[in-house]
Amino acid sequence: MSRARNWLLGALTVGLAASITLSEATLVVLAVVLVAGRRAAAEGAARPRATWPLIGPLIAFALWTLVTVAASGHLRQSLLASRGLLTLGAFYVVLNALPDTRSAGRFASGLLVAVAVVALLSIVQVGFCPPEGTVETSSAAVRLLMRKCARARGFFSIYMTLAGVLAVVLVAALPRVALGGRRAAWAIPACLAGIVVLGLTSVRGAWLGFATGCAACLLGLRRRWLVLAALLVILAGSLVVEPRVLERVKTMGDLADDTTRDRLAMLAAGLGLAIAHPITGIGPGQVKNVYPAVAPPEALRHSTSHLHNTPLQIVVERGLPGLAAWIAIWVGFFGAAWRVYRRVPPADEDARALVLGSMAAIAAFLVAGLFEYNFGDTEVLLAALAVMALPFVVERDLRASPPQLRE
């Protein structure tokens, strides 16, 4: 059973980096394996009990979402739009599939390796992309990689998804890379490739999320100035090698930029909808139906399925109670993860790095969500949920270990 679990965890790391189909299928099979393992344990050797942290706010968010579905007036459409609630279960699957801190570290390393491979292929993708931005070919393999290749997207359908996954995984890995030693020999080039490709996605929201995550890591790292210097060198090199990255940086905060103007129009429309529907919102999946009627004149697009801002999307679809439940998930996570971090002995650098990287990665995810509805991007959300499980694996080890072994 443990061998099957390890193979499935390996497949999951590949899926999280490259394929939503693979990751979702693997999670389903992994859940079945875990349930079967629990039943077998009831008849034989005992296994650690399943753990369910954050279950309160997660259930509250799910139940209120169903309330808003019923109140939307478009029951079938809103219910289909809410099926992403099932994705949240990935947090518990990963948590209970990882038996201890060492396996959590291997999982995090495997995820970084998978992302680095995709990053290298993405460099090829952008480097060999013709001026028209796509390659017309009869080869399915070439078409998969080189269709819509102007901005790095890996094997995902759009560059925003790759940027979101990269930001989460790279930030989560940073504290472990900073420890140095043998792991840094391969992890530094992997992170380098990932950071370069993050620049090649040209997704400014993900850049800001990544920067926030790096800042959070630096606050908890002993070698913070060395890490900061390395990051600055890498980022400066990216700006020199790829001029388009510098151009995108220059447009940050520029109100004359078309994207900025359109996002501000969405913000104005979203706030208007939130004020008009403060309790149950307009219902999940209803923005695409309502937005054409409320888009302000300055909006460049009068049709959209989301508002490019996660908290705004949540409050518009689910009202203030839904937003409160959503915020409670993250408040609960950071509170619990911080308590775990404080309990880990300073000498256990691996465990501390896992917990610190997880907190910083979720901070990056949330900041990036201020500019993109990444909570609704299943691939990015799955990566965040997987990384989010790591502190609770460490906590389980702390509870299981005798006090004298933790000192």
CA-nearest of 310, 238, 319, 236 to 274 is 319
Residues 2 and 128 both lie in one domain: no
Write the pLDDT tens digit of every residue in 358-403.
999 999 999 999 999 999 999 999 999 999 999 999 999 998 775 5
The structure tokens 């996570």 sit at 333
Q: Which of 90-94, 105-109, 259-263, 366-370 has the lowest mean pLDDT?
A: 259-263
Classify 308 in phi/psi space as left (phi over 0), alpha (psi -120 to 50) or beta: left
Position 405 scores a pLDDT of 46
Q: Which of 31-45, 73-87, 360-374 has the lowest mean pLDDT?
A: 31-45
CA–CA separation, 356 and 175 (whole Å): 7
Position 29 scores a pLDDT of 96
Q: Is the pLDDT of residue 333 over 90?
A: yes
Mean per-residue pLDDT for 3-19? 95
Report long-range pairs for 341-345 (Cβ below 8 Å, ≥24 apart).
341/220, 341/391, 343/395, 343/398, 343/406, 344/394, 344/398, 345/406, 345/407
Measured from the Cβ of residue 335, the count of other Cβ atoms closer than 10 Å reads: 11
Residues 88 and 22 both lie in one domain: no
Residues 367 and 229 both lie in one domain: yes
Is residue 57 very low, low, confident or very high in pLDDT (cuts 50, 70, 90)? very high
Residues 34 and 183 both lie in one domain: no
Residues 139 and 11 both lie in one domain: no
Write the pLDDT tens digit of every residue in 291-309.
999 999 888 888 999 999 9
Mean per-residue pLDDT for 22-41? 88
> What string of DSSP letters covers 178-237?
HT-SHHHHHHHHHHHHHHHHHHHHT-HHHHHHHHHHHHHHHHH-TTHHHHHHHHHHHHHH
Mean per-residue pLDDT for 159-163? 96
Single-letter code of the amino acid located at 285: G
> What string of DSSP letters covers 271-329?
HHHHHHSTTT-S-TT-HHHHHHHH--TT-S-S--SS-S-HHHHHHHHHHHHHHHHHHHH
CA-nearest of 179, 193, 170 to 227 is 179
Residues 3 and 86 both lie in one domain: no
Residues 30 and 159 both lie in one domain: no
Residues 71 and 29 both lie in one domain: no
Position 227 scores a pLDDT of 61
What is the pTM assigned to this prediction?
0.92
Residues 155 and 302 both lie in one domain: yes
Q: Is the pLDDT of residue 142 over 90?
A: no
Residues 33 and 119 both lie in one domain: no
Residues 146 and 137: beta-carbon distance below 8 Å: yes
Domain tally, the chain: 2
Write the pLDDT tens digit of every residue in 234-259.
565 555 555 566 566 556 666 667 78
Residues 339 and 391 both lie in one domain: yes
Residues 31 and 138 both lie in one domain: no
**For the chain, what is the radius of gyration of the CA atoms?**
21
Q: Which of 43-52, 175-184, 332-341 has the lowest mean pLDDT?
A: 43-52
The structure tokens 């203030």 sit at 320
Q: First CA to last CA across the chain, in angstroms?
A: 33
Position 394 scores a pLDDT of 97
What is the span of the domain harbouring residue 281? Answer: 56-406
